Structure formats: C-alpha cells, structure tokens
Amino acid sequence: MSSVQSVQIITLTIDGKPVGASSDETVLDVAKQNGFFIPTLCFLEGLIPYGACRLCLVEVKGSNRLLPACMTKVAEGMEVTTDSEKLRSYRRWILELLFTERNHVCSVCVANGFCELQSMAEALGMDHVRLPYLHPQFSVDATHDRFVSDNNRCILCSRCVRVCSDIEGAHTLDIMGRGIHARIVSDLDDAWGNSPTCTRCSKCVQVCPTGAIKEKGRRSVGEKFKRRDLIAYIAKLRGGEHE
Amino acid sequence: MSKVKLATVWLDGCSGCHMSFLDTDERLIALLEHADLVYSPLVDEKNFPDMVDVTLIEGSVSTNEDVEKIRKVRAHTRILIALGDCAVTGNVPAMRNTFGVEPTMHRAYIEMAQLQPQIPTTSLPKLLDKVVPVHEVVAVDLHLPGCPPPADAIFYALSELVNGRMPDVKHLTRFGK
C-alpha cells in the first residue's frame, strides 16, 4: 500500500445489493465481506492473487467479457453479478476441464475428503464429466525425504509456487512448460530431493488444494489434513503489501 | 399398480457398489414391495429382459464385451443409472489408460505370474485401448458418483424412482466418497 490517503470509500452493487468498499479491494474481497459466495480454487487468503483457475469469473456491467473476481479491483458504481446461468455453465466447464486434464482418481487419492477440487465439484453439482479424459502420464517426484510432488493431481493453481516464493522466500518451486504440459518443478527441473533452496518448511503441502503435494510417511488415502489458515496468519504477521 | 422392473449390471468394477446396494439392509425388503429385481449378479437370470424400468450399472467400460453388454442394456432400459465412480469417471480401472494395454497385460500375465507366464489369447474379452465411463458409450440418465456411493444415496435414488420421481442425489454423494 503506497499511501493510505489514496484509498477512497466507494459504493458498488453486487447482485443488485448496494455495498461499500475501499477502492483498493478486489471484487472477491468485497463479495466475501458481504456474504456472497464466489467459488475459488487458486485463491488463498494470505497469498497474492494470481487468477489462474478462472472459477471466480463474474459478470460486470459494461464489460463484454467475464472478469476474475480475485484480480478485479472494485470501482465506483460498478454492477457485479456473481451468479447466473452463464456463470454456472462456465464454472462447471472449467471444473470439468480440470478433471480431464490430469489423473484425478479421488478414491485412491491421499487428499480424498480434504480436496478442494473434489469439494468444489460437489458444491457446484458436477456429478460427471462431459468431455473425454486425457489420462496424461506425469512422473512423480519422491526424491525429497519429506515431501512428494505428483503432477498427475495438480491443477496448476500455483499456490505452492506463490507460498514458496512470497511467504517462505525460497522460490524452490515453479511452473515449467505451457498449457496442459505445464507442471510444477523444483529449482531448474531438478530432483526435489537435491534442492539446495528448499527449506523443508512444508508450506507447499499446507496450501496445495489437491493431493499433488503431500507429506511422506502417512497413510495412503484420505489423511491429508491441512492448516491452510496458517498462511493468512503468517502473511498478516509480516504485514506484507498484499495484506 | 405393477411393480417396477429393476436390474443391476456389473462391468469393470470391484463389486463394491453392489455391496453398498446390499448395505441398504432391511430397507431392501420395503423397496422390493415396489420393485422386482429381474436381472442382476445377485439373481439367477442369465438373459437381460425385454424391457427394464431402472438399471444400475456398476463399473467402467473396459472390454469389447462390456461395450456389447452396455449397448444391449441401454436398448432395453428406460432409466439407466451410472452407479459409482468407475461407471461415472473410469476411476481405478481407467488408471491403466496412462500406460496402455500392452504394458498392462505384460504386468498382469508375465511379470506377476507365478506359473506359466503367458498372455491369454482365448476365453477372455479383449481390452479396449482406453477404459471409458459409461456415458461415453451410451446415454446415461442419472449419475451416482462415489466409491462406493453410500447405501443411503442408492436407497434414496431407488425409492424416488420406484415412486415415479427423478431423484437429485448431488447432496448425498460425491467422487471418492
């Protein structure tokens, strides 16, 4: 925040309801404060928003395209729609694409019951996938003595990359490749176990919405309990610019 | 009122969905006051009847035999239900899609064999290149995900159907449940 004086109090409407907001807030911030539900996957309190998953798309009057609520700053007189037939359709297609792109086998996943992708499918009423599954082959990096990275279960939300870079300051993890070939790598695509930068802090495990990054030495299915709230807590304590 | 004709079919699955169906326990008796189980791994009938009101499909479509079976079932069923994650998503059977048929057969019949390692050439249905969910082969009227779907979800769906209503089971189950 450069200066407190530059922030103004503005009003906008969300689903027809007038709400007040600071001009430095996003549509998602304000919607949440006022009890509107906007589905999200890549967003996590405490991390800098990235706009990767597109699940939080909303309609804004005057814009001919849908805008991601997590990346869109509020403006005076803005008219936002968070729920419509069109948005529900887009969000469901986005979810289905995520399921087809990798190998999400909930029944044998370490995150079964603790997975945000799985919960989102349930919340949005996605009971089957209308597109053919791609069944790509991604390798699993289990070289680290504490953690495993399994790109088969990754949705490329980049939470692990952001927490590693912005909160831990290590920037061990990043995304390599483009499109559906993109994947999480350690350092310059080396074995995670050989990483000279990883501090073994496990923040990546805590923020991963699925079973893509997990801790070793636990049971195999459905035990991946996580403390995602800790990241927001750490960010708050440090008073980062995105607080 | 005549009873609803109910069938269950077992494709490439572990039978866990059928076990979950049986887990409806004594509620089955109440259900069977309104429905006849006319074809199922649980009963003796060998041929799929002419017309069935409701058919539950467990398992993914994995072989040429599965394809033939499911097409026949679809042609003789009013309401087809994909029961469980294998039928709905491919689930565990579809994990072989990542590797392909040859390595899968080699692993099962050569590497893992204790005696006379050999790839079977007769008697077994041919594996499809890719395991697919039921709705990729025939139209499905209701998806009931879960591994297995909870008995309560199955019972709720069937009791609604025997009373002529289309159930909404989305709040009762999910993938992997």
Q: Give domain status of residue A198, yes or no.
A: yes
Residue pair A184/A211 in contact by the 8 Å Cβ criterion: no
Distance (Å) from the C-alpha of residue B88 to the closest C-alpha of chain A?
Answer: 6
Q: Does B130 touch chain A (CB under 8 A)?
A: yes
Query: Which range marks the domain in which residue A155 is found?
Result: 109-238
- pLDDT reported for residue B36: 96
Q: Does B91 touch chain A (CB under 8 A)?
A: yes
Which of A153-157, B142-146, B168-172 is predicted with the least confidence, judged by mean pLDDT? B168-172
| CATH code of A182's domain | 3.30.70.20
pLDDT, averaged across chain A: 92
Quick check: A242 pLDDT over 50?
no
- Clarify whether residues A59 and A179 are in a common domain: no
Q: What topology is assigned to B4-94+129-162 in CATH?
A: Rossmann fold (3.40.50)
- Count of beta carbons in the 10 Å neighbourhood of residue A112: 22
- pLDDT reported for residue B60: 98
Going from N- to C-terminal start, the domains of chain B cover 4-94+129-162
Q: pLDDT, tens digit, for every residue of A215-234? A: 887 665 556 567 778 888 88
- Clarify whether residues A144 and A189 are in a common domain: yes
Q: How far apart are CA B173 and CA B81, in angstroms?
A: 14
Q: Does B145 touch chain A (CB under 8 A)?
A: yes
Cis-peptide into B150, omega within 30 deg? no
Quick check: A243 pLDDT over 50?
no
- pLDDT reported for residue A232: 82
Chain B partners of A129 at a C-beta cutoff of 8 Å?
Answer: 89, 133
Rounded mean pLDDT, A74-97: 97
State which residue of chain A sits closest to B140, comparing Cα positions.
A128
Q: pLDDT, tens digit, for every residue of A97-116? A: 999 999 999 999 988 988 99
Quick check: B1 pLDDT over 70?
no
Q: Give domain status of residue A126, yes or no.
A: yes
Three-state DSSP class for residue B76? coil
- Clarify whether residues A189 and A142 are in a common domain: yes
- Clarify whether residues A133 and A224 are in a common domain: yes
* Per-residue tokens: A217: 């030495």
Rounded mean pLDDT, A228-241: 75
Mutate which: A133, A134, A210, A221, vs B, most B CBs within 10 A: A133
Could you give the number of structural domains in chain A? Answer: 2
Distance of CA B65 to the CA centre of its chain: 14
| CATH code of A57's domain | 3.10.20.740
> How many interchain CB pairs under 8 A, A with B?
67
Q: pLDDT, tens digit, for every residue of A182-201? A: 999 999 999 999 999 999 99
Rounded mean pLDDT, B3-14: 97
- pLDDT reported for residue A114: 87
Q: Does B98 touch chain A (CB under 8 A)?
A: yes
Rounded mean pLDDT, B50-73: 98
- Clarify whether residues A135 and A191 are in a common domain: yes
B170·A106 Cβ contact <8 A: no
- Clarify whether residues A233 and A138 are in a common domain: yes
- Clarify whether residues A183 and A75 are in a common domain: no
- pLDDT reported for residue B59: 98
CA angle A223–A224–A229, rounded 5-degree value: 135
- pLDDT reported for residue A3: 53
Residue pair A11/A19 in contact by the 8 Å Cβ criterion: yes
Interacting residues of B54 by C-beta distance below 8 A, sequence separation 6+: B4, B5, B6, B7, B35, B77, B78, B79, B81, B158, B161, B162
- Clarify whether residues A150 and A211 are in a common domain: yes
Closest by Cα among B170, B133, B91 to A120: B170
- pLDDT reported for residue A219: 60
- Clarify whether residues A135 and A201 are in a common domain: yes
Q: Give domain status of residue A88, yes or no.
A: no
- Clarify whether residues A119 and A167 are in a common domain: yes
State which residue of chain B sits closest to A117, comparing Cα positions.
B175
Quick check: A67 pLDDT over 50?
yes
Residue pair B69/B47 in contact by the 8 Å Cβ criterion: no
Quick check: B80 pLDDT over 90?
yes
B92·A109 Cβ contact <8 A: no
Strand partners, A26: A73
B136·A132 Cβ contact <8 A: yes
B176·A113 Cβ contact <8 A: yes
Chain B partners of A118 at a C-beta cutoff of 8 Å?
Answer: 174-176
Q: Give domain status of residue A33, yes or no.
A: yes
Q: pLDDT, tens digit, for every residue of B96-139? A: 999 999 999 999 999 999 999 999 989 999 999 999 999 999 99
A121·B174 Cβ contact <8 A: yes
ipTM confidence: 0.93
- Clarify whether residues A132 and A215 are in a common domain: yes
Q: How far apart are CA B13 and CA A216, in angstroms?
A: 29
- Clarify whether residues A151 and A75 are in a common domain: no
- Count of beta carbons in the 10 Å neighbourhood of residue A126: 21
